[in-house]
A and B are shown apart, each in its own frame.
Chain A
Amino acid sequence: MIKKGGRKNGDGTVLGARVGAVHMEISGNREVIFEGGRGILEYSESSIRINGGKYVVALRGRGLHIISMTESDTVINGFITAIEYIV
Chain B
Amino acid sequence: MIVVSILRWLIGRISFAVEGRFPERFINLCAKNGINLWGLRGEGERITGCARLTDLRRLEDAAKKNGHRLVIEKKSGLPVMLKKHRTRCGLLAGLIISLGLWFYASGFIWNITLRLPDTINEYEMRATLREYGLYEGAWAKSINVDSITDSLCAGDKRISWMTINISGTDAEVNISPNLSYGTKKREGIILSNMVSAADGTVTRVNVYNGTAEVRAGDGIRRGQLLVSGVMEYTNGTSVLANSRACVYAKTVRSVKIELPKTVYEYEPDREAEKKDVSLFGLCLPAAARQALYGERTVDTDRRQLSLLGHGLPLYFTCEKHRSYIKKPVELKLPQAEELLKGKLALYELFMLSQTNKGRVLNKRITVKEKPDGFVLEALYELEEDVCVNTVIRLDDRKEQEAPAR
Contacts and interface: CB of A to CB of B under 8 A. Distances in A.
Interface of A: 39-45, 64-71, 74
Interface string B30-54: 1110101111111110010100000
A54 B383 CA distance: 101
A4 B40 CA distance: 32
B23 interface: yes
- A contacts with B: majority SS: strand
B41 A70 contact: no
A40 B28 contact: yes
A26 B232 CA distance: 91
With a 10 A CB-CB cut-off, give which of A45, A64, A71 has the most chain B CB atoms: A71
Contacts of B37: 66, 68-69
Nearest to A68: B38
B27 interface: yes
Contacts of A40: 24, 27-28
Across the A-B interface, the 8 shortest Cβ-Cβ residue pairs: A66-B40, A39-B28, A68-B38, A40-B24, A69-B37, A65-B41, A43-B24, A43-B42
Contacts of A68: 36-39
Contacts of B42: 43-45, 64-65
A40 B49 CA distance: 15
A69 B24 contact: no
Contacts of A64: 42
Contacts of B24: 39-43
A66 B27 contact: yes
Task: With a 10 A CB-CB cut-off, give which of B24, B36, B39, B47 has the most chain A CB atoms.
Answer: B24
Given A42-B24, A43-B24, A71 B31 contact: yes
Contacts of A67: 38-40
B39 to A, nearest CB: 6
Given A40-B24, A40-B27, A43-B24, A69 B32 contact: no
A29 to B, nearest CB: 19
Nearest to A45: B42
Given A65-B40, A71-B34, A74-B31, 6 more contacts: A39-B31, A40-B27, A41-B24, A43-B24, A64-B42, A67-B40
A69 B27 contact: yes
A45 B42 CA distance: 6
Nearest to B51: A69
A41 B49 CA distance: 18
A39 to B, nearest CB: 4
A70 B28 CA distance: 9
Nearest to B4: A68
A69 B47 contact: no
A53 B23 CA distance: 20
A68 B267 CA distance: 75
Nearest to A39: B28
A47 B23 CA distance: 14
User: Could you say which of B23, B28, B30, B43 has the most chain A C-beta atoms within 10 Å of its C-beta?
Assistant: B28
A66 B376 CA distance: 92
A68 to B, nearest CB: 4
A35 to B, nearest CB: 13
B49 to A, nearest CB: 8
Nearest to A49: B24
Contact of B31 (A42, A45, A65, A69): A69
Nearest to B48: A65
A62 B41 CA distance: 12
A39 B24 CA distance: 8
